[in-house]
Amino acid sequence: MRFTPRSLNPLALPAGLGLLALLTACGGSGSSSPVGVVAPPTGTANVLITDAPSDSWSTLQVQVTKVTLVHQEDHTKEEVAFSGNATINLVDMDSIGELLAAAQIPVGNYDLVRVSINTDPTTMSIIPEGSSMPVPASQIHVVGNGVIPVAMSPVLSVTSGGSNAVQVDFDLDHPLFINQTPTGDVVLNFQLKFRPNPSALHLIQLHRNVGTITSLGTPANAFLMHTVYGRDLTLNTDLNTKFYDVDNRPFSVGSFAGLAAADAVMVASRLQDDGSLYAVRVWYCTAANAANLPIAVWSPEGHVVSVNTTANSLLVDNADGHPRTIDIDPDTIFTFQQSVTIGTGQSYLADVSHGFKVTVDVKDPLAKPMHASAVNIERAVDSGYIDTSTTATSLTYGQAYLNNFRHYAYGPAFSWWDYAQPSSASTDVNAFVAALTGAGTTRVMGTSSLAWDAGTSSWDANTAVLLPVALPVATIVQNYDATAGTMQISYTDPITASAVTKTIDLTAAAGGGQTLVLKIARQSGVITSGLDDPSSWAADLTTGSTRVWVTVVPKADGSLAAYSVVVLE
């Protein structure tokens, strides 16, 4: 089983919540203007939510209530892109966009987005992986008021009839996002970050939309659906769209002609580069048979839990977090992101790994086990320790003593950056190797997205993100010096069992980002937590502090920049 960096959370617990993407394109509905007032020209903002992979939580469910875009020239003016109560299990959204709405936004420049989350713990569901018991609401604590501002760079320029895109991620990999105390209390400190756009909108994988068909044929070969989030979406189809009539079991092949208004429908779709929506697969039935939709019997998307090349099977999570066995047959077709052919047959199962996000077409959803007719790899990833044997020609994940090295050539568009600073992405492979060398004895953690290389029939590394590394529990041995921006900590090296003293820089986090300090206190059985203002660091980061968990970003010069500090009082 592949080791992932989430097991190095500052409180020795993994985190994985996910990411929020906002994308603007063409089409949709928006606000109205008073009678007699000419409405300004508008563009359309398609609001989506996605998530990062997590092998630590089977459910991380939150409720998004509002998304607004703030005008660059006047931060007192904002436009509502989404308003409602969208309850979403973020774990199920790994790199798959959940399309919430398509809203008309006035033409102009926007440099800030505000995302509002319902902070009432009773609206949340947090279930650890391997457990069926959610964390009680009384043990869920949220830092802040649930309104999270995120600066956008470059600025979003909405044009009339144009296609624009901006992505903002729920930053669940952030060491402060989700922490669990020894008593079982969970502290949520919502962190969001700006994320660069893909080269084209069609590269974004969208999650299924569920709802009701409201009309057909406008434009031709398109249908309008009303989603469970209360929004209207227009889906275009063509001869390559696959239709499934699920009124009866076993399901049968359907057609566009089989669709009817008021039908229950589930759609796997994709954004086109012009901002329109294209339906890749459509499941439909009468409203009375809505329970037959695959979402009720089998989730088309899931994480690969394990691969068995002897039994020729995959263990894949479904929407409720419970894995199912999928048998791979000699005629099973493997693809990457729909458009890249990997191959047909059981031998290609060896190219699938734990943590991949897949879409599975099954021959019979009621069969046990189910047999795959097709497996589409939506997201291929690797993560964990980056070995010092990495060179300018090969990126190596794994650890020598586990004999689990995985080697990847660099893709033609390879880029790398320090965690949470994608805007500083570099294509300089030599600089990447130098950063690894500069880390010295501090282990380097990373995560990479992979792309299938048809020429070599293997995976290439498209990206490499250097992640904050959690140092062992430490004590402060030299007070924080506001002038120098540093403090010293001491901890026991888990390998050598010897004491280690390190100087930690709290002002020079990767990309110039500001270190975050979170204080967690328990008094008379009551948990309190909150971010510590830098003006209080000199008083709070002292040798009197009991325990600290520090995550650091290794720098090319060998120094350690603090990404976060958790103080438990």
Q: Is the pLDDT of residue 26 over 60?
A: no
- DSSP 3-state assignment of 536? helix
pTM summary value: 0.64
pLDDT tens per residue across span 198-228: 666 676 767 778 899 999 987 889 999 998 8
Nearest-angstrom CA–CA distance, 131 and 37:
56
Distance between first and last Cα of the chain: 36
Average pLDDT over residues 37-53: 72
Q: Are residues 12 and 116 in the same domain?
A: yes
Residues 428 and 545 in one domain: no
444: left (phi over 0), alpha (psi -120 to 50) or beta: beta
pLDDT of residue 511: 46
If asked whether residues 64 and 213 sit together in one domain, one would say no
pLDDT at residue number 296: 63
pLDDT tier for residue 397 given thresholds of 50, 70 and 90:
very high
* Percent of the chain topping pLDDT 90: 32
Per residue, the 3-state secondary structure of 133-170, as one string, reads CCCCHHHEEECCCCEEEEEEEEEEEECCCCCEEEEEEE
Range of the domain at 123: 5-203
335 and 440 housed in the same domain: no
Of the candidates 203, 223, 242, which is a domain's last residue? 203
Q: What is the pLDDT of residues 499-542, one digit of tens each?
A: 888 888 887 554 445 688 888 877 777 777 778 888 889 888 99
Q: For 485-499, what is the mean pLDDT?
A: 85
Q: Cα(238)–Cα(33) distance, rounded to whole angstroms?
A: 36
CB 94, CB 449: distance < 8 Å:
no
Sheet architecture: strand order including 98-106: 29-30, 98-106, 42-49, 20-25, 164-170, 192-195
Q: Is the same domain home to 412 and 371?
A: no
> pLDDT for 258-281, tens place per residue?
999 999 999 988 888 777 888 988
Task: Give 236's strand partners.
Answer: 222, 278
Pair 259, 307: CB distance under 8 Å: no
CA angle 508–510–511, rounded 5-degree value: 95
| Rounded Cα distance, 183 and 179, in Å | 11
129 SS3 class: coil
Same domain as 542, residue 489: yes
- The pLDDT, as a whole number, for residue 558 is 60
Q: What is the CATH number of the domain that holds 323?
A: 2.40.50.140
3-state secondary structure of 402: helix
Question: Highest-confidence range of 46-50, 128-132, 334-338, 390-394, by mean pLDDT?
Answer: 390-394
Total domains present in the chain: 5
Domain boundary among 426, 452, 469: 469
Euclidean distance between CA atoms 553 and 5, whole angstroms: 13
